[in-house]
Amino acid sequence: MNKKTTAPFDAPNDFDWDLDNDSENIELNQPDDDSEREEVGRNRDPNALFVTLQSFIANGEDCVELYANGETRSFETKEKVKRTVLLARVTRRELSMRPLVAASDRHEFLEPKYKELTSITVVAEDNKPWVLPESVEDFDGMLQRLPTGFGRHAKYGLGLKWEYRLIPEAVLELVGVTQLVIEPGDGASVELPVFRLGVDRFTSIRQAIDTITGRASGISLRDRRLAAYNATLHAALPDKFARRFPIVKPGEIYDLVQLRGRHPSRTAKDGLAAAQVVREDAEKIAAERPSELLRLKAVIEQVTLKELIGKFEDMLSKKLPEPKWQAFLKANPFILGLAFPFPVFLFQDQANVGGTTIRGEGESIVDFLMAQRFTGNLALIEIKRPSAGLVDAKPYRGDLHAPHKDLTASMAQVLDQRSQLLHYFASKVSQDKSMEGMRVSSVNCIVIVGTLPTELAQTRSLDLFRHSSKDVAVITFDELLEKLKQLHRLMSAGERAFPEAAASDESDGPTGEFGDEDEVHDDLF
């Protein structure tokens, strides 16, 4: 069998190969002279190769090789030189392709299509050996047996169709791979320079690419229709034709969340959007997965509290005036609630609890007017600076330190405010309907001031003084901060007590190795 055949060739595909074989006296079957070559190429597709076929025996085995012929420019001389490059080799056991760039107008003409990956070999099944072709047309017919996704004409350079070039690209991320072997089975293994891929796995990858491509095309068409509609009918008649928005496919948000470990690149806007979805679906989540909603609530509270503690510590490290602290506590009134043994809420900040003279003088303003949640009984909180003194630095007698004037003055101030509130309470209730239900049967007074002394004698003196006061409770800023930290520790420990939902979550997914078709494709990528 020694038959010469020529044929033109089709679409872009790239690669080159050395002509190293053991056949004797191989003569490449090319046109007999330049005039015949010119005649053949005159009406040829510029994206097709001029292909010749050669049959021979190598190592006692019948073998057929196809060659691509053409002219390329020499890198050294820049002149055109004739080249003959191996395109494919066929034996009964395997078909080995050397995909080449077929477009003659490209500077990579006759170069390997997939760069370092110079060959793609398809191994025949044991009971279905390859039939050696006798012509280029026979070879093209033989290509019909290749798995879907391969080119079907030698003249276009062989290899994979354009949309499946991603497979060689993926393989080439491993440095040193030069050969891709597709064989029976579903395996995937590497033994450099060969990457072996089972034909079943190759088919799954191709189907995944097709599904993703189809899905993206559908989304693109939908979005283009929306853009056209919104820019025409909606723009002209917005009252009659409402703006349309893309429909979110069920499960899309879940799929995105599953990528959190591999793609931790979500922005603050992503987080806000997710929070909005949770707010809108809170009732549904509470009905279907109450434990997850409780877990989410606990996590949010922990994060919020942790941020709050950090801000509190930062403020303590600076010498800030009272208005800064008043604004901070007004924005986070639950911190004030930690000063009470019963639940309270902020009724009014900067509350006028006294009366005024005819000239508008004599106002008595309390920083925070609190109310007991269940009884309505009012309480007063006065805020002073963390740097305010609590006890005198110099001992009064022995190791006893007298209370600092900052402390006694603030206690006297809040007691005066209470007196004013009791005196004018009836008139204020009659003037302000929001005070209906408020009570002054036992008004608590609290001063938040200073930080604990570092010396033991001073701390002892402070405790002796403040615990002797039955009408005013004194709390330092660092004690309030410690209450916040203790609350955070309790919440962090309690979060572990929530029931795990992982098992039920997993049961919602596919039970097989791959699940449905879309899930097969998503798993592969």
Peptide bond into 499 cis (omega under 30): no
The reply to whether 438 falls in a domain is yes
Is the CB of residue 71 less than 8 Å from the CB of residue 85?
A: no
Q: Which domain holds residue 435?
A: 319-481
For residue 251, the model assigns a pLDDT of 59
From 481, 496, 518, give the residue that closes a domain.
481
Tokens for 232?
């025409």
Count the neighbouring beta carbons within 10 Å of the beta carbon of residue 320.
Answer: 16
Is residue 388, in this structure, part of any structural domain at all? yes
Of 134, 152, 184, the residue at which a domain comes to its end is 184
- Cut 0.85: pTM above it: no
Number of domains in the chain: 2
CA-to-CA separations, 278 to 404, 491, 506, in angstroms, rounded: 52, 21, 21
**91 falls within a domain:** yes
> Residues for the chain: how many in total?
525
Task: Collapse the DSSP code of 385 into the 3-class scheme (helix H, G, I; strand E, B; otherwise coil) and give the result.
Answer: coil
Q: In angstroms, what CA-CA distances link 266 with 239, 253, 262, 275, 301?
A: 36, 12, 11, 13, 21
Task: Kindly give the residue spans of alpha helices, DSSP state H, lying in 319-440.
Answer: 322-331, 334-337, 405-431
Measured CA to CA, the distance from residue 467 to residue 165 in angstroms comes to 80
Instruction: Mark whether 179 and 323 lie in a shared domain.
Output: no
Asked if residue 419 is part of any domain, the answer here is: yes
Inter-residue contact 351 to 418 (CB < 8 Å): no
**Does a structural domain hold residue 410?**
yes
The b-or-e profile of 57-83 (16+ CB within 10 A means b, else e) is eeeeeebbbbbbbbebeeeeeeeeeee
Digit-by-digit pLDDT tens for the chain (525 residues) are 444 444 433 333 333 334 333 333 333 444 444 444 443 444 467 788 999 999 988 888 899 999 999 988 877 777 888 999 999 999 999 999 999 999 988 888 999 999 999 999 999 988 899 999 999 999 999 999 999 999 999 999 999 999 999 999 999 999 999 999 999 999 999 999 999 999 999 999 999 999 999 988 888 888 899 999 999 999 999 999 999 887 766 655 555 555 454 545 566 676 666 666 666 666 776 677 777 666 666 676 677 888 889 999 999 999 899 999 999 999 999 899 988 988 999 999 999 988 766 555 667 899 999 999 999 999 999 999 999 999 999 999 999 999 999 999 999 999 999 999 999 999 889 888 888 889 999 999 999 999 999 999 999 999 999 999 999 999 999 999 999 998 888 877 765 544 444 444 444 443 333 344 444 444 443
The C-alpha atoms of residue 120 and residue 511 are separated, in whole angstroms, by 35
- In this structure, is residue 451 part of a structural domain? yes
DSSP codes of every residue in 441-476:
EEEEEEEE-----SSHHHHHHHHHHHTT-SSEEEE-
The structure tokens listed for 190 are 């590497």
Closest CA to 95 of 140, 39, 43, 38: 140
Q: Which of 184, 209, 231 is the last residue of a domain?
A: 184
